[in-house]
Structure formats: structure tokens, C-alpha cells
Amino acid sequence: MTMVNETGAGKTGAAISEFLKRPLVIALVLIVVLLFAGNALSPGFASGQQILRLLIVAALLGIVAAGQNVVILGGREGIDLSVGGVVSLSAIVGGNVMNGADIGIVPAVLACLAVGGFFGLLNGLGVTLLRIPPLVMTLGMLGVLQGLLIVVRQGIPSGQAAPGLSSFVTQPFLFGLPGIIWLWVLIGVLMALMLTRTVFGHRIYAIGSNEHAAYMAGVPVKLMRVSVFVISGMFAAVAGLCLLGYSGSSFANVGEQYMLPSIIAVVFGGTSLAGGKGGYTGTMAGAVLLVILQSILTTVNIADSGRQMVFGATLLLLMLLYGRGRAMRA
Amino acid sequence: MAETGSAKAPTPGGFKRLIERYPFLPALGILIILLALNGIFSPNSLSYRSLTGLVSTYLALIMLAIAQTYVIFAGDIDLSAGAVVSLVNVVIIVLMEKMGGGGLAVFAALGVGVLAGLVCGLINGIVVAGLRLQAIVATFATSIFFTGFALWVMPVAGTPAPALFWRTYGSKLLGLPFVFYIVAALAILLFVISRTRLALQLLSVGDDAQAAYQTGLPVTPIRIKGYLLCGLFSALAAFCVTGDTASGDPLVGGKMTLFSVAAVVLGGSALAGGWGTVVGSLLGALTIGLINSLVFFIGTPSEWQNFVQGLAILVVLMAGILVGRRARA
Amino acid sequence: MAKLSLSGVSKAYGATLALRRGDLDIEAGEVHVLLGSNGSGKSTLCKIVAGSVRPDKGEVLIDGRPVTISGPQAARALGIGIFYQELSLSEHRSVAENICLADLPGKSGIFVDRAALEARASRYIALFAGVAGEGFSAEALVGNLRADQRQLVEIMKALSSEAPVIIFDEPTSALDRAQVDRFFEILRQLKTEGRGIIFISHRMDEITAIGDRATVIRDGETIRTLKLSETDPAEMIRLMVGENSDLPSAEHELPAAGPSAGAPLLSVRNLSGKGFRDVSFDVLPGEILGFGGLHGQGQSAVLRALFGASSISGGSLELSGRSLAVANPRSAIRSGLAYVSGDRGRDGVIQGRPIVENAAPIHYLKERLLLARPSALRDKVLPALGALHTKFASLAHPIGSLSGGNQQKIVIARWLIERPEVLLLDDPTKGIDLAAKADLFNLIRQLAAEGMAILLYSSEDAELLGNANRILVFNGGAVTRELTGADRTRYNLYQAAYEAA
């Protein structure tokens, strides 16, 4: 370690290197690099059409990650492993409520939000009232949801997405972009406003950073903690509906693929798993980054085994780029 | 909120003291209740034969829960434990098959299997403790890597284990099932490990890593050793899986990871580290097994079984945590 | 030749210099006091010696030979033991295990030798026999111990290093008089054994009682080393604070008796709860009511209970003549109470968040705000911070970029936007520097003058005597004596505190 360099050049250099260490910047740089790399490996990878497809997939992940992000920011080892189950369940419920008809979209949205909110509420109550660690509570809830999925799938047919929902997710909606992209942008803006410009947002950071101090300053800690889980459940439900629109009909356990990636997207966005630090803009970039990486690996013609190994190793390398935990010795 | 600054010194009551000494007592209580329920709904389920079956089926989860416990002691977690089970499973199957399936082949393969588990543990340890990445996400990444490796070793499930191997696992020796000898050996091994400095050091690191470091403990090597123990027991879990299923499957362990975490929590260990016992995890794994068999025995319709199991595990998790905390509060 | 010698040691964290130039010489057989206000670099210096902080520059010599301390383990091997101010204990391990943790007695290399461990630990536990308090034993879990008992464990742990040089970074902050006395006896014994002791304390009486020499550190720089026998407290404080700073007068004059008539603002009748029982008092508007006595006699417990942070088992409260029920801090705040804790890291500071967010939570609650508009917040927060002479670069800076004293000012400022009626101060100046203390007490007196009722608990008698209009002395969870008027003397305070203690 050296002393702080006070010269102008050193200052600019330090400022640039500080800037480059910001998670959002890392993610954006990596996205560009990966797009070029993908295009080199398989020409046409970075075409407008392809990028649009990637963004749709990223939006699905990103919407799940929004809820995950809020839970993680709220601290006390906040994490929501049940999002995958909620995504799957929401897709089934949505499909059955709308049953292929546009008129059913609004009731479906409401039903899905209620389902997501309900399971989020259960998670939140378990975590706050019974003080079960979030990892355990949401892990247990995941088991319940997976069992429930089997029950539901036995009892009712797998529903169909309404054409309106499908076109909202896959077809151009405004300025050539599908509705889901606009929805994601809207969520991004709302999340940013919520986290920086509302008392609710400040309180999320407060309970995530120092729960006891927040309590002593009159923050309704329990209510806040329940809220973050409800929000997470609702975002997962929205993502489930969008996923239904993306694939046309629901199939078993579609949501499972989002459980851990939603956490990784949050981490790649620069939000600390310890809570109280981070934001959603980075998470959006993290989701895009993760989706591009997966997409490159599917483009490359290698065996599934090799693809997985490369994916795992790349994730580790990226995590290293994002900076490591604090050293024991300061 | 906890209150500090009380004038009277805390004098733990008898129950509290008991739980402090034996954090797995709530788990034991739940286990006994479940055994009783099993007995009521299906007296046959408590037969010697059924219990042997239960142990041999869930021995793998027991091993994996123990594996998980050592990293959780230190405040870490290993989401790749199941992937390591898969990897070791396919590695020993392929080796045993390549080497002809004789006694020597089995032993050599088991040796390589242990080695593979240790290497995976070492990789996790280096990544989490050495490179200081977040354990949850980093071991998720290594789990993808290990799964990929397992798929490379054996792209599709189905290669059978040599008869010698699984027959031995299911055999009887001097009138007792072979798995009982494994359990006995495991008990001795756990006892020995519990007396080591490492066990105490892992718990201290999990309690407060910074404090442990400032005390002068080599925190990083200790955490890596925790992952090595985890790798070792994951390999042992893989042996049990192989003995039970008698075949290779590159994805066999995937579903076990989260159950291993649940078993550790059921056993009364704190996920945050610094507090717990391996015996508790063993009981926790058996609890999961008993729940599954109970759900079957009470005649749950097949499509409802997973749901009822999930619900029961959630309820038992909550109950265990609440009882443990009430005792400690 | 010096046992331990540091020269030109420096340490920067990013742009902040924690230690600019640390020089220090420790002789064998001396207690060497490090003097300096908080944030002056004392703890950093200690941690560098103990290996837990890596210095940027400088030289460390042990017995005249230059050494590189690569970590805490290496420091121990070089013969350095340390008591950490923030403690380095494992809560779920026993007292004995904690004492021996750094060097677990082993059998055949890998097993713990339990018998040897117990034997070694019991030697150090015996040193504090009789003063360690109820519930203290080799088998007790550290997490079940009181703050003072934990501090004793950390002391025993430092002693068990049997190192030639032992650092004690504020080892007495939670100890009672008897424990301190015993500790000092041990230190004197260590001196005769030729050990070198580094000692830090914020209590002047302790420094003069045990110290041989003192090194003053100011703004990360070693100012001077002096013999304690050839100096006096006033000079030491002058060196610590700097020549041209405003000195808070060493001898506080007794404040006036305060308002004596009128309706009480807060009435407490027969209040009982965890850690206190049957406490009754009235506070008038404009009055500063002091809570005195040995630490942990229920003062904090009463204040926290009044604020709703712990439960009340009996008794009644009245605020402005109306019955008051506090269910939690939230309802207490709504009723007009405010609470400032000395443990700002735990109870006050929202680490990693901007100054403005740290100053605003009470405003959010009282105004039932939903939106946090930066410009509106700024107008509210700036005057409150100004009232305390808070130094900060910008409201958007994280609170962690400030010194401890300034962090505490931010925490206090959050109560000044909408003023409470009753201010509960729970040892609010713990671990903050003298200048900040002066600012704080000026404000407190001003708030009282404006009609606020203030309950002040302080672990420093001088602060109580210098500010409180009336002092209730706590002992064993109950009020045993009330000091008013000219009775408010140090002698009476000590005497009441030690009665039947």
C-alpha cells in the first residue's frame, strides 16, 4: 500500500480507476466486451434482433431480480430462494385465469399479484414474527411451492397465454421495442425513485445497514421486513406472467432457473449480500450481463458439459472482477 | 430487543444450560415425535427392517448434512455439496467399471473419490476463503462447474455400479446390516473430529471471523480446512448414494444440497456460524427422512405428497428454531 | 534499550490519514499511557503493533532489532499481546476457551487438551476472583456475560499471551471500581516482572494512578512523551487538544439548581423492569436530571425502558400530566421522547448511508413523510447540524467518513429537527473527543434553557456534576440517593455509589 498521491495526474488516475471499479461500469463494460466476443464467435450475435431477444430474456430475469434486490438490501441475511417457485406458480395461475383470452389478462394479473404477495407475506411473517433466517424460511417455502406445483398441475390443465400477453412480451409495442422492455424500464425507474427519493427506500437501506439503529430511530422494522418479501413475491409473480407470455404456456418448474441467477444478477449489480448497500440500476446491468453470457455459451458449439464448466468458471472470474470481501488485515 | 446493562448477572436455567450443551436436543425431540407418529400410523415402519432401510436410504443425506455442518460452523455455506456428490458418484462408477469392478478396483476408485471430494473442497475453500468471494454465490458458481465436470465424466445417467459394491452396501456382516457398521465408524470419526483443535477453531471463526483473526487464529487456512472436511464428507455421501442407487448419475446430488442445509438448521446449528453440532445435523437428516416416510404412511395421495412434505419440513424447521431460541433466550 | 520501539509509523485508509507519524518507546517494567482524543490514531498505532493493521511506512524494533509484523499470529510470536477496545471474543465459546483460543493446548498436534486448557484458564480467572461478579465461571458462555465481565475475559485473554509487551486499549471502560483496582494490582505485578505495558484510558484518574510515562498523540502524530510524575492533567489535556483550541474548563462550576417549581413534564412512579425496580422521579421542563452511580446499576435500563426499547413490568408514566404508554421506540418518539445512546455503532449510526439519511429518520416519522425530497431535507437538516458545529464535507457523504464525535453529532441532530419534549441521554459522550463533548454539553444546556426536560446518564462523574441540576444515584437497579444543590459533590456521588455495593 502506498501513500495517497496528491498530484493532479495521480488524482485523475485515481478517479478513473475508482470510476472503473463501480459495479455498474464494470457490468456495462463487460456487456460490450461480451457482445463483441459473441459477435466474433458467431456473426450476427450482436444484431439488433438478437439483442432484442436477449433483452427480453434479461427483462424476465431482471424483474425477478428486482424483488430479490429489495430483499437483499433489507439486510439481516435477506435472501429469497422461493422466487423460482412463485414464478412457476404464477405462470400456471395466470395461464388458467386468462385461459388464452385477452379479456382474462387483467384478472390474471391481479390473481398472480395476489398469489405472489401471499407467499411473500408468509415469508415475511416467518422471518419477522418467528425470526426464522430468510435462507431457511424461503428454502422451506420453496419446498412447499414445489409440492404445490405438483398438486396444481394434477388438478388443472396447463393454461394458455392470452394473445395480448404474448405479443406484449414478444412483439414490438412502442418504438419497435416489446412491451416487456418498456415494463422493465418502468420498473427500473420506479425502483430507482423508490430507493433514493422515498422514505420507504431510505428505510430499506436503514434496516439493511443497521437494523437496531433503525428500530431506535422509529423505523417500523417488522413492517418493512414483511414488505420487502411481499414486494419480492409480487415481482416474481409479474415475471411468471411475462414468462407465460414468452413461452405461450406454462410448464413444470419453469421458474427454478431464476432462483440463484436472480441473486447473481443482484451481486453483479454491486449490491452487497450483507444488505444496506447497492441499488437496482446495477442489477439491471447484471441481469443483461448474465443473460448475454449464457447466450454466448449456447451459441458456441460445445458439449453441455464444457458449456457448464466454462459458465461456472466465468462466473467466478466475474465475481473476482467485482471485488472481493474485505481482507482480515486492514 | 435484547436488553443490556442489566444489573443482575445472567444465571442460565437448567433447560437453557442443557440446550447450550446439547443444541441438538430440540431436533432429537422432533425426531422422537416423528418416530412415534410413524409407529402409530404404520407399526411396521418401526421394524428393524424398515429402520435399516431408512438409514441406508438417508445415510447419504446424513453424510452431506455433516459435510455442510463443518462449513456452516465457520459461517460459510456450500451450495456445491450436491454437485460434488454427483461428481464423485460418476467418477467412482466410471473408474470401477474401467478397472473391471473387482475388489481392488473398488478400493482404488473410492480412494480417487475421496481425493476428488477433497479437491472440490479445496477449490471451494480457495475461492471462498482465499479469494474472499461470497460463499453463497461462489459455491453456486463452482456447483455449475462441478456439474459440468460430472457431465463430462458421464454424459448420461445409467452406468451401473459393480455388483460387488452395492451388494456390500446392502449386505449383512455378522448378522448386522453393513450400513450399521458405517454408522458406527461415522460416530467414531465424528467424535474424533469433535475433539480436534480444528472443530473449536471453526466455531470461533464462525462466531466472529475478525475477532478470531485478531486473536491470532489463521482464519483463512481454518476456513479452507472446513471446506476440505466438507469435500471429504461429500465424497462419503457420494459413496452412500452409489451404494443405495447402484448406478451413476451426473445430476444425482443436485437436489440434495438444499436438503443438507435444511438438515443442518433442523439440527440446531446457526446458519450464521459459531454454534451447532454435527450430531444435530445427523438427526436433522433423519428427520427429513422420517417426514418423507410419514407422509407416505399416513396415506397422502401421491400428487399431494411433495406438498405435504414441503409443508412439514417448513413447519419442523420453524419449530426447531423456535424451541432452540426459546431455550437460549 | 527499549523493549518496543516504533518510529515514523503511518497508515492511511484511502484518502484519510489515520496515523501520520507514530513514534513510541516502551521500556521494560513501565506502564506507558497513550494519550489522545478519539480519532487521534491511538488505536491504529496499537493495532499496527499487534499485527492486525498493516502500516504503510515506518519501523518497528523489538529489543533493538527491526522486525516485520506480518499479522496477529506473528505479533504473538514476537511477544506482543493485546486487549482490543472492541474485544475479540467468540460469544458462543466458553470463558476458558476464549482465554486460550490463540494458543489452544494440544494433544498429539491436532486434539485439544481439555485438562490443560481448563488449568491454564483457571490461573487467569483466579486473578479476578471475587470481583468478576455473579455468573462468571470458566464454563460460562461469553455471550451470557455482562459487558464488564466480557471485558474481564478480554483482559485475561491478553494476559494469557504472557507476552513481554502487552497493549491494553481502553480495558477499563466498562469495569467498576473494584475490578479496576484489581486490574491495576495485576498491572503493577506485571511491571515488577519487567513487562512493558501500553495503556489507554479516557479517565484521567486512572491514567495518573497507574501510568509511568505518557505519549501524547494528536491528529495522528506523536507530540511528546512525558513522565507522569512531572506533569499534571491540565498540561496533558492541553497537549492532547492542541495549543490554540478552546479548552473546556477542567473544573466545572456547579450549574444552578435549575427550575424548582412548576408542573413536572415527565413523572415516573414505581417503575420496574429488567435491570431496575421501583424507580420514581419527576423532571421539570428545563431541568437536567442526572443519573449517577457505578455503571450498569440500572441507569441505562431505565432510559431504554422509558424509550420503549425494553419492556416495563410495573409502574406508571405521565407526560405533561397525561398518562403515557410506550410500547416501542416508535410510540415513544411520537409521544415526544428522544433517546441518544453512547453506543452509537449499535444504536445510532446507519453505517454506509449518507449523512442526510442519518439525520432524517425522526423527521420522516414525525411528519409521516412518504417522499424524501433532497432540497426540502437539506433545509431541515442543515440548521440542526449547524447547532452542533458539525464538520462535514457534504450531506451526501457517507456518515462513516466522519470522526466518532461528528458521527454522534449527526445522530443527535436527528432529534433537533422536530424538538422532543424529553431528551434521554444514555452516556452520550462515550468515546468521543473533548471538543465534541464540549459542543454537546453546550447544546444540552441550551436545550434545557429552552424548556426541554433532559435525563442524563454519564459514566463520567465530572459530566454529571458539571451539567445536572439534580442527580439520582443508582445502585443495584434502584435509586438510592438524590443529590441536590450543594450536595452535588464528587465525594457524595462516590459515597452513594459505593454504599452497600
Question: pLDDT per residue over C412-446, tens digit each?
Answer: 999 998 899 999 999 898 777 777 888 889 899 99
Determine contact: C478 vs chain B, CB below 8 A: no
**Residue C295 confidence (pLDDT) above 80:** no
pLDDT given for residue C247 in this prediction: 39
Residue of A nearest to B301 (CA): A151
Mean pLDDT of A183-210: 93
Q: How far apart are CA C84 and CA A139, in angstroms?
A: 38
Chain C residues whose beta carbon lies within 8 Å of the beta carbon of residue A209: 350-353
Instruction: Give the Cβ contact number of residue C259 at 10 Å.
Output: 15
Q: Are residues C54 and A2, on separate chains, in Cβ contact within 8 Å?
A: no
pLDDT given for residue C256 in this prediction: 66
pLDDT given for residue B3 in this prediction: 36
pLDDT given for residue C234 in this prediction: 78
Q: How many domains does chain C have?
A: 2
DSSP string, C436-452: HHHHHHHHHHHHHHTT-
pLDDT given for residue C281 in this prediction: 93
The model's pLDDT over B39-48, given as tens digits with 9 standing for 90+, comes to 888 888 788 8
- Of A143-147, A193-197, B115-119, C397-401, give the range with the top mean pLDDT: B115-119
Q: In angstroms, what separates the C-alpha of C149 from chain A's closest C-alpha? A: 23
CATH for C169: 3.40.50.300
C459 or A279: which carries more pLDDT confidence?
A: A279
**Residue B31 confidence (pLDDT) above 50:** yes
Same structural domain for residues C393 and C273?
A: yes
Beta bridge partners of C319: C266, C322
Has residue A32 been placed in a domain? no
**Residue A3 confidence (pLDDT) above 70:** no
Grouping H, G, I as helix, E, B as strand and the rest as coil, residue A159 is coil
What is the enclosing helix (H) or strand (E) of C291?
Answer: strand C288-292
Mean pLDDT of B183-210: 93
Contact C262, C285 (CB under 8 A): yes
Q: Average model confidence (pLDDT) for chain A?
A: 86
Grouping H, G, I as helix, E, B as strand and the rest as coil, residue B162 is coil
pLDDT given for residue C15 in this prediction: 63
Same structural domain for residues C313 and C371?
A: yes
Chain A residues whose beta carbon lies within 8 Å of the beta carbon of residue B145: 308-309, 311-313, 316
Residue in A150, A260, A311 nearest the CB of B303: A150
pLDDT given for residue B167 in this prediction: 85
Contact C428, C341 (CB under 8 A): yes
Instruction: Give the Cβ contact number of residue B204 at 10 Å.
Output: 31
HSE at residue B164, side-chain half, CA atoms within 13 A, is 13
Q: Which of C458, C468, C455 is nearest to C437 (CA)?
A: C458
Determine contact: A48 vs chain B, CB below 8 A: no
The model's pLDDT over B48-97, given as tens digits with 9 standing for 90+, comes to 888 888 888 899 999 999 999 999 999 999 999 999 999 999 999 999 98
The model's pLDDT over B282-320, given as tens digits with 9 standing for 90+, comes to 999 999 999 988 888 888 888 888 899 999 999 988 888
Beta bridge partners of C337: C422
Q: Are residues B132 and A329, on separate chains, in Cβ contact within 8 Å?
A: no
Has residue A324 been placed in a domain? no
Has residue A41 been placed in a domain? no
A9 or C359: which carries more pLDDT confidence?
A: C359
Q: Which of A27, A112, A105, A125 is nearest to A63 (CA)?
A: A112
What residues make up the domain containing C449? 266-498
Instruction: Give the Cβ contact number of residue C355 at 10 Å.
Output: 25
Residue in B258, B303, B318 nearest the CB of A130: B318
Q: Which residues of chain C from 40 to 69 reach within 8 Å of chain A, CB to CB?
A: 47, 51-54, 56-57
pLDDT given for residue B9 in this prediction: 42
Residue in A199, A216, A329 nearest the CB of C309: A216
Residue in A206, A216, A329 nearest the CB of C353: A206
Determine contact: A326 vs chain C, CB below 8 A: no
pLDDT given for residue C498 in this prediction: 65
Phi and psi torsions of B36, nearest 5°: -60, -45
Has residue C255 been placed in a domain? no
Q: Are residues C88 and B197, on separate chains, in Cβ contact within 8 Å?
A: no
**What are the start-end ranges of the E strands in C449-500?**
453-457, 470-475, 478-484
Least confident segment among C13-17, C199-203, C352-356, C398-402: C13-17
Mean pLDDT of A111-130: 94
Residue C495 pLDDT grade (very low, low, confident, very high; cuts 50, 70, 90): confident
Phi and psi torsions of C494, nearest 5°: -60, -45
Residue B10 pLDDT grade (very low, low, confident, very high; cuts 50, 70, 90): very low
Residue A5 pLDDT grade (very low, low, confident, very high; cuts 50, 70, 90): very low
C-alpha cell at A208: 439493511
- Of B48-62, B110-124, C336-350, give the range with the top mean pLDDT: B110-124
Determine contact: C186 vs chain B, CB below 8 A: no
Q: Which residues of chain B from 87 to 146 reach within 8 Å of chain A, CB to CB?
A: 127, 131-134, 136-138, 140-146
pLDDT given for residue B2 in this prediction: 36
Contact A271, A277 (CB under 8 A): yes
Chain C residues whose beta carbon lies within 8 Å of the beta carbon of residue B221: none
Residue A7 pLDDT grade (very low, low, confident, very high; cuts 50, 70, 90): very low
Say what the ipTM of the complex is: 0.85
**Residue B328 confidence (pLDDT) above 80:** no
The model's pLDDT over A70-90, given as tens digits with 9 standing for 90+, comes to 999 998 889 999 999 999 999
Same structural domain for residues C333 and C419?
A: yes
Q: Which of C92, C165, C471 is nearest to C289 (CA)?
A: C471
Q: Which of B118, B116, B76 is nearest to B93 (CA)?
A: B116
**Residue A166 confidence (pLDDT) above 90:** no
Same structural domain for residues C229 and C364?
A: no
pLDDT given for residue A10 in this prediction: 55
Has residue A90 been placed in a domain? yes
Angle between helices B256-266 and B81-98 (to 10 degrees): 130
Residue in A140, A306, A319 nearest the CB of B141: A319
Same structural domain for residues C104 and C145?
A: yes
pLDDT given for residue B5 in this prediction: 38
Residue of B nearest to C297 (CA): B7
**Residue C89 confidence (pLDDT) above 80:** yes
Q: In angstroms, what separates the C-alpha of A218 from chain C's closest C-alpha? A: 4
Contact A149, A89 (CB under 8 A): yes
What residues make up the domain containing A108? 51-318
CATH for A105: 1.10.3470
pLDDT given for residue C202 in this prediction: 73
pLDDT given for residue A291 in this prediction: 93
Chain C residues whose beta carbon lies within 8 Å of the beta carbon of residue B20: 141
pLDDT given for residue B54 in this prediction: 87
Q: How many domains does chain A have?
A: 1
Residue A104 pLDDT grade (very low, low, confident, very high; cuts 50, 70, 90): confident
Has residue C9 been placed in a domain? yes
**Residue B7 confidence (pLDDT) above 50:** no
**Residue C392 confidence (pLDDT) above 50:** yes
DSSP string, B261-279: HHHHHHTT--TTSS---HH
Q: Average model confidence (pLDDT) for chain C?
A: 87
Least confident segment among B309-323, C23-37, C254-268: C254-268
Contact A287, A270 (CB under 8 A): no
Buried/exposed code over C59-68 (b: 16+ C-beta within 10 A; e: otherwise): ebbbeeeebe
Residue B181 pLDDT grade (very low, low, confident, very high; cuts 50, 70, 90): very high
pLDDT given for residue B12 in this prediction: 54
Q: Which residues of chain C from 419 to 438 reach within 8 Å of chain A, CB to CB?
A: none
Same structural domain for residues C150 and C197?
A: yes
What is the enclosing helix (H) or strand (E) of C100?
Answer: helix C95-100
pLDDT given for residue B163 in this prediction: 85
Has residue C292 been placed in a domain? yes
CATH for B24-34+43-328? 1.10.3470
Has residue C162 been placed in a domain? yes
Same structural domain for residues C281 and C182?
A: no
Chain A residues whose beta carbon lies within 8 Å of the beta carbon of residue C12: 1, 3-4
Has residue A190 been placed in a domain? yes
Q: Which residues of chain A from 175 to 214 reach within 8 Å of chain B, CB to CB?
A: 212
pLDDT given for residue A38 in this prediction: 85
The burial of B2, by beta-carbon neighbours within 10 Å (0-12 exposed, 13-18 middle, 19 or more buried), is given as exposed
